[in-house]
Structure 1
């Protein structure tokens, strides 16, 4: 009886330790990948970019997240609310089950045990990440001077899209009802973007297109969705479960060829991807 009780206690302690090490958003269920849906692409699309807020903490399987990404297989993916451990698992699943190999750079702004697990003295990194089928150079990670209710920032890398070198930014602005904070963040981001002629800016801006705080971005770039403008939002496709357009692919010196918003059960934000022509200059920038 005593031996059995000790064994149960030991097993329970081991289980708690595993949860702490893996984190609350670790994958659940057996690691058997479902086949991709009909119509999925057969390999990386070299001129496609995607942005996706992964939702954290949302207790979603990284295997399901990898399948969503593999269905559209963009050349570049910017993710927000991303734990380093989750992104690493997504990369492993993409390679192992779908044959898609991505490089990764991180824009970590927090070390957060509550969101990303780990142990109290070594919590998981949390923030943004960029995955690219091509190598990346010159990575930077910048924390905004004022993050609002939670530290926020942007990251940037140089990589290849549509056969040409481009600067790619990925950001997550302050939460809703923090307009003044976002206005300051957008000015910081726009100043960095303005230094480059050919730029892709991915991210969750937590603001609709006609929000005043997005004005610095509109002065430099256009959104991949031609129906989304600061003065014209009729038909602008929403990207969140609450039917707001918060997610953007801003383009400077690049022409969009088409975009799609894909609802997903694995986040409160939809997947947004666009195909690009980097040989033409975007009108209106």
Structure 2
């Protein structure tokens, strides 16, 4: 067998050693240069579609969501065949069809129908997503004897190629101690996961309340990071309190946040843009 000249052999061996390093450097460079993927998220208490003008108009709610450009939405106070107040409509299904989005529904109140054969009467929260919802689970939160049942709805989805966990809740409005227990349960239920996480909802408390700081010790408050002004969301006519929140884990980078002006509900929706890397 013919031997390669010594100089040529050294050159070939040198190239073989350089190629893996160059490949790894290129891969690292590619990772650094990969553009961040934007995501828009909304939390909106829709008051079963009834506006401050007394008009029930689910189409108006749909337009607010549509015009926001949100990819992932947490809704509170959503009726499904609940009563005459919302014309017995399956609101999450209607909104999902109207907006061409995927949805999941969490019934925190679940009553039998008024007449045999009719759908159950339900009231709770919903998640809308532009991408399929891979898994969904609702866990009932602590309730005092005179309280209304609340829950934590958790959806997992993949957006822009990244797995996300999206938790949506509506804490009680009239009992501080009960609300604190609910917030502690939310923190317990969501603990330990490394999946990028959003915790959104109508939390019915101001940012300095113990129930809110229980959560913001774990997740970052988007409005506090990138919002401008007080971020008041309630009541719609004369907003004086920030009680609707978008919280996120450290793997998510917020860019901007705003509260939208509308009379479609008794709460104003809060929406924010994030970068996923």
Superposition TM-score, scaled by structure 1 size: 0.71
Displacement of 1:46? 5.7
> What is the DSSP-based 3-state SS (H/G/I as helix, E as strand, rest coil) of the residue aligned with 2:157?
strand
The answer to whether structure 1 residue 239 and structure 2 residue 244 are counterparts is no
Q: Is the 8 A contact 1:46 1:75 kept in 2?
A: no
Q: Is the 8 A contact 1:51 1:78 kept in 2?
A: yes
**How many pairs were matched up?**
220
Displacement of 1:135? 0.8
CA-to-aligned-CA distance 1:217-261 (integer Å, 9 cap, x gap): 011011111369xxxx99331011242101000001211111110
Q: Is the 8 A contact 2:77 2:124 kept in 1?
A: yes
The structure with higher relative contact order (CA 8 Å, sep 6+) is: 2
> What is the DSSP-based 3-state SS (H/G/I as helix, E as strand, rest coil) of the residue aligned with 2:182?
helix
User: 2: distance between equivalents of 1:277 and 1:175?
Assistant: 32
Q: RMSD in angstroms over aligned alpha carbons?
A: 2.3
Counterpart in the other structure of 1:55: 47
> What is the DSSP-based 3-state SS (H/G/I as helix, E as strand, rest coil) of the residue aligned with 1:64?
helix
User: 1: distance between equivalents of 2:43 and 2:159?
Assistant: 14
Larger radius of gyration: 2
Q: Is the 8 A contact 2:140 2:152 kept in 1?
A: yes
> What is the DSSP-based 3-state SS (H/G/I as helix, E as strand, rest coil) of the residue aligned with 1:74?
coil
User: 2: distance between equivalents of 1:246 and 1:67?
Assistant: 23
Displacement of 1:274? 0.6
1:90 is matched with which residue: 82, 91, 95?
95
Displacement of 1:119? 3.4
User: 2: distance between equivalents of 1:166 and 1:227?
Assistant: 20
Q: Is the 8 A contact 1:173 1:182 kept in 2?
A: yes
> Which stretches in structure 2 are left out of the alignment for 5+ residues?
1-36, 81-89
User: 2: distance between equivalents of 1:161 and 1:270?
Assistant: 25
Superposition TM-score, scaled by structure 2 size: 0.73
Counterpart in the other structure of 1:250: 247
Q: Is the 8 A contact 2:49 2:265 kept in 1?
A: no
Counterpart in the other structure of 1:126: 123
Counterpart in the other structure of 2:139: 142
Q: Is the 8 A contact 2:43 2:201 kept in 1?
A: yes
Q: Is the 8 A contact 2:38 2:274 kept in 1?
A: no
Counterpart in the other structure of 1:218: 216
Counterpart in the other structure of 1:182: 179
